[in-house]
Amino acid sequence: MCWLEVSRLDIIDADIRRAETLPSRFYTDPNTFDEVISGFANSWHFAAHEDQLSSVNALPLPHIEGMVREPMLLTKDDEVRCISNVCTHRGMVVVNEPCSAGVLVCPYHGRSFSLDGCFRHMPEFEQVEDFPTPADDLRQFPLESWKGLLFTTIDGVDFERWIAPLEERLGWLPVDSFRHAPSRHREYTIEANWALYVDNYLEGFHIPYVHGDLHDVLDHDGYRTELFDGGVLQVGMAREGESCFDLPESSPDHGERVAAYYYWFHPGLMLNFYPWGLSVNLVVPLSVNRTAIVYHGFVGDESLLDMGAGGDLDKVEDEDQFVVEATQRGVASRAYERGRYSPTRETGVHHFHRLLTRG
Ligand code: FES
Ligand SMILES: [Fe+2]
């Protein structure tokens, strides 16, 4: 065990009233960054909504490559699979853009594979002995679906257990019928550590200070934060007259005025459910102080777009990026090392920091 591993364990007190926040090196030190993200292979990662495969049959997953440093590809023939996107000849990435092809052909020297990843053909290899073997096929990765949302992993925990907090709360929501909306796609690169972006997401504490328009539609006192094993759920309540879910009796929140369900799954997956549909936000660590933020939108009811908490997401994002980038400059200061938590408003951030440092 190296000193970095030793230094990670138990550094966040379980009692939020006594705890200090994450030491600043988690946001600024490249070695700590490398150590932390090496653990991401143990998580499930959002790959795509099945609707994204309605017009293509091979979809590269660059955001997952950013998370776990593993080029992956979703393919669809008689079934949907997640396979390696690395050619078994000399390691070229096989598919670089979404496409509709019956056969996958490596652009480097022409090796071809079926959509299920099986080796098909290789030019100039007639004289090679013991060829091909199963090692020449593209490797498969686990793939699971929850209501049309596809998730993959390298060494993930039990999927049913992992997804249970979502199923228990939103099992009634017809996510499978949501349609991919390419016009809602966004990609940003911000000058900040990925965990600062997650910290900011995990508390509604800043809403009155940072997001004036959002504050006008959310009931600040009704805002709830619930912790579960692999993540955090925040429930935003609508002010009187503002857009909210029409919750069926089967919902545990039936009778309440829910404006948004904000799910975060460790490390960087955010599933934001609004009355109009789902905004998936992916937090992709590029380096210790650069992060990509990727948005995918899936619409269930177009008539509810642009209303309530899920209305002007671009403005909210802009406001969040301002504080997150400025905080990156602040945590790099000699004058800053650690802070303290609000026991009423920062339980989600505390839970995240405990997850990050539990070894
Ligand atoms: S690396 Fe793919 S064919 Fe050579
Ligand atoms: Fe925010």
Residues 212-230: tens digit of each pLDDT: 998 999 999 999 999 999 9
Gap between the Cα atoms of 103 and 94, Å rounded: 11
From-to residues of CATH 2.102.10.10 in the chain: 52-141
Q: How confident is the model at residue 42 (pLDDT cuts 50, 70, 90)?
A: confident
| The CATH number, out of the four listed (3.10.180.10, 3.90.380.10, 3.30.540.10, 3.30.499.10), of the domain defined by the range 176-356 | 3.90.380.10
Residue 289 in contact with residue 273, Cβ under 8 Å?
Answer: no
Residues around ligand 2, an ion, CB closer than 5 A: 320
How many percent of the chain have pLDDT more than 90? 92
Start-to-end Cα distance in the chain = 11
Check residue 309 and give its pLDDT. 81
Give pTM, 2 decimals: 0.95
From-to residues of CATH 3.90.380.10 in the chain: 176-356
Residue 207 alpha carbon to ligand 2 centre in Å:
6
Q: Which atom of ligand 1 is nearest to the CA of 109?
A: 3
Helix or strand run (H / E) with residue 59:
strand 58-60
Q: Which of 31, 85, 5, 61 is nearest to 280 (CA)?
A: 61
Nearest ligand (C-alpha, residue 113): 1
Query: What lines the ligand 1 site, CB under 6 Å?
Result: 87, 89-90, 92, 106, 108-111
Per-residue pLDDT averaged across 140-168, rounded?
Answer: 96
pLDDT greater than 50 at residue 162:
yes
Gap between the Cα atoms of 276 and 234, Å rounded: 18
Amino acid residing at 294: V
Nearest ligand (C-alpha, residue 320): 2
Residue 303 alpha carbon to ligand 2 centre in Å:
25
Nearest ligand (C-alpha, residue 93): 1
Give residue-wise pLDDT tens across range 68-96.
999 999 999 999 999 999 999 999 999 99
Per-residue pLDDT averaged across 54-78, rounded?
Answer: 96
Which of 79-88, 191-200, 303-312 is predicted least confidently?
A: 303-312
Q: Which atom of ligand 1 is nearest to the CA of 94?
A: 2
Per-residue pLDDT averaged across 258-274, rounded?
Answer: 97
**Considering only CA atoms, which residue is closest to atom 3 of ligand 1?**
109
Residue 144's Cβ-count burial label (10 Å; 0-12, 13-18, 19+) is middle
Q: Tell me which of 105, 109, 137 to substitute to probe ligand 1's pocket, judged by most ligand atoms within 8 Å of the beta carbon.
A: 109
Check residue 333 and give its pLDDT. 97
Cα–Cα separations (whole angstroms), residue 227 to 186, 280, 351: 28, 19, 7
Residue 273 alpha carbon to ligand 2 centre in Å:
15
Q: Tell me which of 92, 93, 112, 136 to substitute to probe ligand 1's pocket, judged by most ligand atoms within 8 Å of the beta carbon.
A: 92
pLDDT greater than 80 at residue 195:
yes
Q: Residue 272: beta bridge partners? A: 262, 279
Residue 10 in contact with residue 2, Cβ under 8 Å?
Answer: no
pLDDT greater than 90 at residue 259:
yes
Check residue 9 and give its pLDDT. 65
| Fold (topology level) of 52-141 | Rieske Iron-sulfur Protein (2.102.10)
Check residue 165 and give its pLDDT. 97
